[in-house]
Amino acid sequence: MQNTNPFISFIVPVYNEELNIDRMLTNLYAVLNAHPEWNWEVVIVEDGSKDQTRQVLQENIHKYPQSQLIIHEKNQGYTQSMKDGLAAAKGQYLMYVGADEEFDSSELPSFVNLFLKDEADLVLGVRWQRNAYGLFRFFVSVIYIFFLNGLFKIRINDYNWSQGWSRKALDAMQITSKSLFMLPQIIIQANDLGLRIKEVPSNHRGRQWGKSSLNFKIMGFALWEALKFYFFRKSAAYPCRKISN
């Protein structure tokens, strides 16, 4: 029997993006429709938005074939939205795409082609330039990268941007984070398992509408989880030991 599961699933967590989401999905589907050979699906997770995001999605979802819409009646946070999207996805590969229009969907081929060529288990987008950031946010993001690289003794250029993963890679991990540390946790475990990690340059466009929900409380919790994971990684209970050279 032929396997009809999609090759790649795109996960889109959405919270309070009423002014961005329809345009973002229009741009995303313009790229996806140009690549039917990818055999794709889109999983949209609406996370209990307080604005009209849900209404916009429900009114427009008919325009977007090969999509699932998961609705959280109450806000459960970005990490739970990601986990619910990953659990619902059927693809051999999976990719996170933000709903805020900061990521340019025209860059998707540089991620997907590495999977099609079987050259990577993880593909990480790297924002070499962050022109849309204010000086303070740029400074914090640089410190965050240096902190994680120093703490975990690896070299990654961007931890929290659009990423793609093989299902096989994710199945070998334990994703326990409940914060923004979720994406770094995946990367660190992939490194420890000896998986193939590729980085591709990506353009950071900045928001046209709305504002980021990032704040000190969110960042502080992510850093606390990073420290906890550091000690767990050194323990005998840590499961992600290298499986290849």
Least confident window among 12-26, 76-90, 194-208: 194-208
How much is the pLDDT for 244?
Answer: 44
Interval 222-242 mean pLDDT: 92
Distance CA(54)–CA(21), nearest Å, equals 10
CB 229 within 8 A of CB 181: yes
pLDDT tens-place string over residues 81-140: 999 999 999 999 999 999 988 899 999 999 999 999 999 999 999 987 666 666 556 667
pLDDT band at 221 (very low <50, low <70, confident <90, very high): confident
Distance CA(67)–CA(21), nearest Å, equals 14
How much is the pLDDT for 38?
Answer: 96
Distance CA(115)–CA(106), nearest Å, equals 17
Distance CA(104)–CA(234), nearest Å, equals 38
What domains sit in the chain, N to C, each tagged with a CATH number?
8-233 (3.90.550.10)
Contacts of 107 (CB under 8 A, 6+ apart): 125, 162, 200, 202, 203
What are the φ/ψ torsions at residue 84 (nearest 5 degrees)?
-65, -40
Q: What is the pTM of this model?
A: 0.89
Whether the pLDDT of residue 42 is over 60: the answer is yes
pLDDT band at 203 (very low <50, low <70, confident <90, very high): confident
